[in-house]
A and B are shown apart, each in its own frame.
Chain A
Amino acid sequence: GDSVTQMEGPVTLSEEAFLTINCTYTATGYPSLFWYVQYPGEGLQLLLKATKADDKGSNKGFEATYRKETTSFHLEKGSVQVSDSAVYFCALLWASGSRLTFGEGTQLTVNP
């Protein structure tokens, strides 16, 4: 079945450091891919998405490119801020009305 694998956390960085959180997926075909962010005690917020191969999603300085050759959707940011501290979830979706399949989540802590 479908699955999403994220790099293990937690990840701790200093402010202005470069961030990469790896995400790979296993699926037959080409689902839509998402990154969600969850701040402490809150629900999930959509960070960015890509619906087809080679698409790049971007938002708030974060980027991720849908790579079908490597079945990956790695999240990157050039310069993280303390306010980026949160849990990040990679997910895939086949179609409206169907289930989101989430990765395990990666805890990011950014220190001043």
Chain B
Amino acid sequence: GAVVSQHPSWVICKSGTSVKIECRSLDFQATTMFWYRQFPKQSLMLMATSNEGSKATYEQGVEKDKFLINHASLTLSTLTVTSAHPEDSSFYICSAETSLSYNEQFFGPGTRLTVL
């Protein structure tokens, strides 16, 4: 149980295009979803926290207009990287929380984004 999927697992795009990454909780309803970014050989950096039906809360320094987060249902959150540039290339990981599991986040497998 408590499986989180991400799609796509990797994506290559041209500079200036937009890319959408999906995060789904497959067998539970996620009260909260989190989006992280990870650079090579570095730790995870929290980008934003989202709750179903409300606006995401972004961390300081994360551009809201560039990284659009939509949490339309209790099982799906999407991250759209708008007008992507090479510096946006990174590993994006989502996690989800359920009210049934106290203080535990379940992580997706991550999405590797490469912007040419």
A associates with B? yes
Binding site for B on A (CB under 8 A): 32, 36, 41-46, 49, 51, 89, 93, 95-97, 99-100, 102-105, 107
Give the Cβ gap from B38 to chain A, nearest Cβ, in Å.
Answer: 9
**B107 and A105 form a contact (CB under 8 A):** no
Count of interface residues, chain B, beta-carbon cutoff 8 Å: 26
When distances are taken between beta carbons in the complex, the residues of chain B under 8 Å from A105 are 41-43
* Docked-complex contact A46 and B43, CB < 8 angstroms: no
Residues of A within 8 A of B95 (CB): 44, 100
The CA-CA distance from A45 to B99 in the complex, in Å, is: 19
Check B46 against A99 for contact (C-beta < 8 Å): yes
| Contact A99 to B93, CB < 8 A, known contacts A43-B109, A51-B103 | no
Query: B: which residues have CB within 8 A of A?
Result: 4, 6, 31-32, 34, 41-44, 46, 49, 51, 93, 95, 97, 99, 102-110, 112
The majority secondary structure among interface residues of chain B is strand
Task: Give the contacting residue for A89; candidates B43, B46, B49; CB below 8 A.
Answer: B43
Q: How far is the CA of A27 from the CA of B50 in the complex (A)?
A: 24
- List the A side residues contacting B31 at CB < 8 Å: 96-97
Contact (A49, B104) CB under 8 Å given A97-B97, A103-B43, A105-B42: yes
A97 touches B32 (CB 8 A): yes
Q: Is the CB of A44 within 8 A of B44?
A: yes
- Closest CB-CB distance, A46 to chain B, in whole Å? 7
Q: Contact check, B102 vs A96: say whether CB atoms are below 8 A apart.
A: yes
Q: How far is the CA of A36 from the CA of B49 in the complex (A)?
A: 20
Which of chain A's residues have a CB closer than 8 A to the CB of B110?
A: 41-43
A102–B103 CB distance below 8 A: no
